[in-house]
Structure 1
Amino acid sequence: MSTQEQKVAIVTGASQGIGSGLVAAYRGLGYAVVATSRSIARSEDPRIHTVQGDIADTDTATRVVDAAIERFGRIDTLVNNAGIFIAKPFTDYTDEDFATYVGINLNGFFQITRRAVPHMLAHGGGHVVGITTSLAEHANSNVPSVLASLTKGGLESATKSLAIEYAGRGLRANAVSPGVIKTPMHAPETHEAMAALHPVGRLGEISDVVDAVVYLEKAPFVTGAILYVDGGQSAGH
């Protein structure tokens, strides 16, 4: 398969957890992948190109998109997986917390998506996928998370706006909105308490989120969707 025929996905926050699972999934779909995070290691797979960098840094967005074009010649999908979530009472958040949230969750999304979309359109369209949080739409007093709602809620609105702006040009935009997923971010001693937040009584698995993204990738009639993968949280308690 030549470079120009093989589809190419960019995955941010790709070194572990959901991001690592997404890289493997897209390779399984036959895509070449450009994977980025601050600490990502070089891959032995010649169809996985890794780029180290902080997604909050605009230079990282430029380097990742340039690498995709230089190495593989095109961009078909961008998965904005990188994100930060820290639960705190609203008045405990600091200016530094705010800057970090905006840098990673919003600036990271904005800079890399703005650079990737023209390359997608050049090949007749593509797919932008975001990873948000169900708390953005369904607040929970047990998990105070205003900055997550502020930024991830913004991403959900942006997803719908992108979907409509580019619907006639072959570009789709969707988001997966997870509950609490069992990843290295969460210490094992917290799992029982976090599992209780979900009506189904368990944490989500990385595969639950990856499978949702793969579904969206394979669903050409789906755009502007926020797909809840949250163990029933969005339905209520």
Structure 2
Amino acid sequence: MKNKTVIITGASTGLGKETAQYFLERGSNVIMNSSNASNLEMTFQSLGSPANAAYVAGDISKRETGKKLVETALEKFGSIDVLINNAGIFAPKPFLDVNETDLERFWKVNLLGTYVTSQEVIPHMLEQGRGAIINIGTVLVDHAIDGFPATAPLTSKGAIHALTRQLAAEFGKQNIRVNTIAPGIIRSPLQGKIGVEDADSLAGLHLLNRIGEAREIAEAAYYLASAEFITGETINVAGGHTVGHAI
């Protein structure tokens, strides 16, 4: 992946920030995005303001943000080799309490953001004759948990899983690979945002009896970015979360 250009949305904190750092350390060019301009700038500076990186602030559910990401990648580095659709939001709420505003918020950020950003990037991958898109879903799409009601975000994430397979089918002959990473419980700021004070208390959800680390998602993304014979797959990075249960 050295000298390849990677666009990462939601890159100012958590999984996105760790993934950006992982690719930068290995010589990739990285375009970072976040809707929070100040956080994004601080993250860029905390990474050492590297010459092989740039950042674009903007709401990923708006097409103009995707256009700006494409323009920046092409102007600075001349190609778009990988898109990692990491930007997303997640929060539990009982089904009967969910309203239309909740649904719109999750669908706009999670699904629409992934959809329109991919639409902006794929034409350039077609011109290049190659490319990789990595979407971020969740193991909860295939492994529902009583006590963690999250139908609103899960419907948007489930749609992303379906979108991955269809895009892989539509663009496979053009050498554009599309895959999903489905994380389990990963140590990140997300846990605090949804009210989980001790993320390690959820270790038992995984057969490995620990939660994951953000770097393990970055490792999976790097692998999928360079694995040229994998497409249409959902890779669970979840310590056995979907495989079985400990008793």
Per the TM superposition, whether the score is higher than 0.5 is yes
Whether 1:18 aligns to 2:23 is: no
Residue 56 of structure 1 and its aligned partner are, at CA, apart by: 2.0
Q: Distance in 2 between matches of 1:73 and 1:100?
A: 34
Q: Structure 2 matches for 1:121-132, cutoff 5 A? A: 121-132=126-137
Q: TM-score when scaled to structure 2?
A: 0.89
Q: Structure 2 matches for 1:1-237, cutoff 5 A? A: 6-39=3-36, 40-41=40-41, 42-43=44-45, 44-187=49-192, 189-237=197-245
Q: Distance in 2 between matches of 1:9 and 1:28?
A: 13
Runs of 4+ in 1 over 4 A off after TM superposition: none
Task: Verify the 8 A CA contact 2:139 2:242 in the aligned structure 1.
Answer: yes
How large is the RMSD of aligned CA atoms in angstroms? Answer: 1.6
Q: Distance in 2 between matches of 1:73 and 1:111?
A: 21
Residue 174 of structure 1 and its aligned partner are, at CA, apart by: 0.6
Residue 62 of structure 1 and its aligned partner are, at CA, apart by: 1.6
- Amino acid paired to 1:184: P
SS of 1:9's partner is strand
Q: Distance in 1 between matches of 2:73 and 2:83?
A: 11
Q: Distance in 1 between matches of 2:60 and 2:161?
A: 19
SS of 1:233's partner is coil
Residue 158 of structure 1 and its aligned partner are, at CA, apart by: 0.8
Task: Verify the 8 A CA contact 1:136 1:148 in the aligned structure 2.
Answer: no
Q: Distance in 2 between matches of 1:189 and 1:112?
A: 33
Task: Verify the 8 A CA contact 2:107 2:153 in the aligned structure 1.
Answer: no
Residue 73 of structure 1 and its aligned partner are, at CA, apart by: 1.6
Identity of aligned residues (%): 35
- Amino acid paired to 1:134: V
Q: TM-score when scaled to structure 1?
A: 0.93
Deviation track 1:19-64 (CA, whole Å, cap 9, x = no partner) reads 0111112223322111000221154112110011121222211211
Q: Which runs of 5 or more residues in structure 1 are unaligned?
A: none
SS of 1:135's partner is helix
SS of 1:122's partner is helix
- Amino acid paired to 1:227: I
SS of 1:143's partner is coil
